[in-house]
A and B are shown apart, each in its own frame.
Chain A
Amino acid sequence: MCLAVPGQIVSKEDAVGVVAIRGNRLRAGLALVPEAQVGDWVLIHAGFAITILTPQDAAETNALFKQMEELEGIG
């Protein structure tokens, strides 16, 4: 539950968007990052983006979680 994963915003409508997380598309709440735009990388925790990431930080975090083999879900 404490696991957060980077995702890239594919589309956005009001406070909800679709994010791509390692090839999967998921709905995510964007109300906590109102300034986030389509194309931005965000950190997704339990279905909500909690912060905007630089592409470099997103790549590093992705590599880390791939290493930890823990992407059973984003819950």
Chain B
Amino acid sequence: MMENDLIEKLKREMAAAAEALPGSERVAIMEICGTHTMAIRRMGLRALLPQRVRLVSGPGCPVCVTSQGTIDALVDLASRPGVVLATFGDMMRVPGTRWSLERRKAAGGRVAVVYSTLEALDLARQRPAETIVFAAVGFETTAPGTALALEIARREGLRNFTVLPAHKWVVPAMDALLAGGQVRIDAFLCPGHVSVIIGSRAYEPIAARYRRPCVVAGFTAEQVLAGVAAILGQLSARQARVQNVYQEAVRPEGNAEALGVLERVFEPVEAVWRGLGRIPASGMGLTTEYAEFDAARRLGIPWPPPETGADEHGCRCGDVIRGAIEPHECPLFAAACTPLHPVGPCMVSREGSCQAQYKYGAI
């Protein structure tokens, strides 16, 4: 079938399911993946949906959900003598309370941008007299790389390799959003690549406990629309279960190697999310066996970091992350806050809702 025929077919399927939806209010489908956010905006997919459907971006951008206190801790670490902070590039421009890593580096802080934890390990091998701190930020897709690096460091006795453990689990955040009840969410479009790791089964407790359809989808227009069609099919039939339309890449049980290494190295801890606050068991802390690689413990910084108050610049990234407002409802959007001069992380990150809307428009 030609691509366009398939899209037309999906549009008809969505329209038919939307006709059969109970009630008359618009239903809200939340996507929780930065790549979905980008793909949906870039391809203008919102325009192809039935009137009764609204797509809402949730906490799917790992840079965006990183708390202000974590950014401040990273800036602090980059300022310590004998420390080199290794980070993925997209953390560089995120503003902390006073500094971003980029500005701290320009002012003499020692920050190295790496593509992977393998490069951070190289740094540790090349500079035995210095302490390398890897900024371990990201969801289940990124965390296995950190865990594997820690296993290698332990095996090699690479004691100058450390991490600031700020990785997060996505499912507890979905749980917290529904338990909080402040934002309307009728179903989740589940993240394609996170699901490669955790498996589609991971969403079963959410579907069962809160009666919300959870559908895993990939990133092409056909995949996203097939995901929405599956959700509408469930909602109109008053069902709530896990479905996977991305079977090329996602298995029910996930990636066993990845889950294994996460289990060996990390344990669930409470974590602070920007916009969502404290969420139990949503963070990945180091197990006792790996405690010696914990940068916070080694370098004596308060961890988890103290919570910071409301943003003094009026940035509403927190509300955007929760899906409580659309980016353009923030008074700073496209005025005081642009990709060139971002005020908050949702405008800094390529995967952030604000940058996606700024670049690709409101559709």
Contacts and interface: CB of A to CB of B under 8 A. Distances in A.
Interface of A: 1-4, 15-16, 26-29, 31-34, 43, 45-48, 50-51, 53-54, 57, 60-61, 64, 67-68, 70, 72-75
A16 B61 CA distance: 28
A61 B145 CA distance: 22
A64 B193 CA distance: 15
Interface stretch (B97-105, B116-124, B283-291, B317-325): B116-124
B220 interface: yes
Contacts of A28: 116
A31 to B, nearest CB: 5
Measured as residues with beta carbon below 8 angstroms from the partner, the interface class of chain B is 35 or more
Nearest to B349: A1
B137 interface: yes
Contacts of B142: 1-2, 45-46
Interface in B134-150: 137-139, 141-142, 144-145, 148
Given A33-B257, A60-B220, A2 B115 contact: no
Nearest to A35: B257
Interface stretch (B13-21, B31-39, B50-58, B334-342): B31-39
B201 to A, nearest CB: 16
Nearest to B63: A1
Interface of B: 33-35, 38-39, 42-43, 60-63, 88-91, 113-119, 137-139, 141-142, 144-145, 148, 191, 193, 196-197, 218-220, 248-249, 255, 257-258, 261, 350-351
Contact of B62 (A2, A43, A48, A73): A2
Given A2-B62, A3-B350, A47-B116, A53 B249 contact: yes
Contact of B248 (A34, A45, A54): A54
Given A45-B142, A47-B119, A50-B193, 9 more contacts: A2-B139, A2-B142, A3-B34, A4-B141, A32-B255, A57-B248, A68-B39, A72-B89, A75-B113
Most buried by B among A60, A67, A70, A75: A75
Nearest to B142: A46
Contacts of A61: 218-220
17 contacts: A1-B138, A1-B142, A2-B191, A32-B255, A33-B255, A43-B249, A46-B145, A47-B116, A47-B119, A53-B249, A57-B249, A61-B218, A64-B219, A67-B43, A74-B115, A75-B90, A75-B116
B363 to A, nearest CB: 16
A39 to B, nearest CB: 18
Nearest to B113: A75
A68 B38 contact: yes
B237 to A, nearest CB: 29
B116 A2 contact: no
